[in-house]
């Protein structure tokens, strides 16, 4: 059984922190940032998700987010998301996600910190107007009542994470007994430093990913399989407890 080597250590776990990335939503039909998935109309996703790209061509960047939002609104949580939500019955679970798709919350998870924002949130580029959107915008880019353009309320490369969210994420990482790193390449900082905080607290580190990541050598256990296949089996360990 894929968890035999750590079965005993898992028994006394009280708090689990999940660090998740695009891979956990891949089986829900949402493209990751890697490889061919990482391209939209031949634009590099990492280059589009920047303030410069937005000011160079706000219409293009809005179309990209409108298309992603449409795809995300029609997506459903997969067995990976559902297993994590189910785990809340047995132990304290906190999710630190790099995803802006809201699928953890849609699966029923109650403690989710969105490190890079959310695709349903928007904000003004000038005034402090913020809002949630549930439908597509007719005019693109949409304007704020102050006359300036609105932007997706997500964290773009070169922009700092919301400090309240980041500080809270560090606290959870410092307190957990087990950290499960699922569906992330751990390429992007500062999210990729969270396993280091957990390690400093002698937490058990488990990686769930079909491929190696930047920190595979730091892991106590690396499961080379998908999150939808793997996480339900991890959760069953706690059900038996
Ligand atoms: C910041 C929101 C202070 C928007 C995102 C040079 C060197 C080092 C760092 C930097 C550098 N230059 C700049 C930086 C800092 C930069 C950074 O880390 N760049 C990287 C590219 C090197 N970070 C920042 O800019 C951050 N801000 O640091 O502020 C500052 C400011 C100025 C200068 C310096 C510092 C802000 C980062 C947040 C950016 N916003 N998203 C949007 O989504 O549109 S990041 C976005 O990309 C995602 O949120 C996520 O974080 C990242 C993609 O990573 P993953 O989620 O891991 O996805 P990926 O495709 O990479 O991997 C998928 C994995 O899943 C793979 O391993 C695959 O094998 C696996 N997988 C696939 N299928 C499955 C699976 N696993 C399980 N099951 C499956 N079925
Ligand atoms: Zn405004």
CATH number for the domain spanning 55: value is 3.30.1600.10
Are residues 165 and 54 located together in one domain of the fold? no
Q: Whose CA is nearest to atom 71 of ligand 1?
A: 23
Q: Which domain holds residue 20?
A: 1-29+77-116+160-241
* Residue 27 in contact with ligand 1 by CB distance below 6 A: yes
* CB of 159 closer than 8 Å to CB of 51: yes
> Closest-lying ligand to the alpha carbon of 32?
1
* Residue 34 in contact with ligand 1 by CB distance below 6 A: yes
Adjacent-strand bridge partners of 20: 97, 182
Ligand 1 atom closest to the CA of 213, numbered from 1: 67
Model confidence at 134, pLDDT cuts 50, 70, 90, reads: low
First to last CA, the chain: 16
Are residues 196 and 83 located together in one domain of the fold? yes
Q: Whose CA is nearest to atom 31 of ligand 1?
A: 158
Are residues 25 and 37 located together in one domain of the fold? no
5-52: pLDDT as tens digits: 888 888 889 999 999 999 999 999 999 987 777 777 777 888 899 999
* Residue 211 in contact with ligand 1 by CB distance below 6 A: yes
Residue 57, CA distances (Å) to 45, 63, 64, 93, 168 in order: 14, 10, 11, 40, 34
Residues noted as catalytic: 116
In the chain, how many domains are there?
Answer: 2
Are residues 170 and 211 located together in one domain of the fold? yes
- Predicted TM-score (pTM) of the model is 0.96
CATH number of the domain bearing residue 229: 3.40.50.1220
96-107: pLDDT as tens digits: 999 999 999 999
């Amino acid at each position: 059984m894929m968890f035999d080597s750590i079965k005993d250590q898992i028994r006394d776990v009280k708090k689990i922190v999940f660090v998740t990335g695009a891979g956990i939503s891949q089986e829900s039909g949402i493209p990751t940032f890697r490889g061919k998935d990482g391209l939209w109309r031949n634009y590099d996703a990492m280059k589009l998700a920047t303030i410069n790209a937005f000011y160079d061509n706000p219409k293009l960047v809005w179309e990209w987010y409108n298309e992603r939002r449409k795809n995300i609104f029609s997506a459903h949580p997969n067995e990976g998301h559902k297993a994590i939500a189910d785990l809340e019955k047995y132990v304290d679970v906190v999710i630190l996600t790099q995803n802006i798709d809201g699928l953890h919350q849609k699966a029923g998870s109650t403690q989710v910190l969105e490190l890079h924002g959310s695709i349903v949130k928007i904000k003004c580029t000038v005034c402090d107007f913020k809002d949630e959107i549930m439908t597509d915008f007719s005019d693109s880019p949409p304007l704020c009542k102050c006359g300036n353009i609105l932007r997706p309320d997500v964290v773009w490369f070169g922009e700092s994470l919301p400090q309240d969210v980041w500080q809270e994420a560090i606290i959870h990482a410092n307190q957990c007994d087990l950290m499960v790193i699922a569906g992330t390449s751990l390429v992007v900082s500062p999210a990729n430093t969270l396993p280091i905080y957990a390690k400093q607290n002698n937490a058990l580190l488990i990686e769930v990913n079909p491929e190696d990541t930047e920190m595979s050598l730091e892991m106590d256990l690396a499961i080379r399989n998908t999150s939808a296949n793997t996480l339900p089996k991890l959760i069953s360990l706690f059900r038996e407890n």
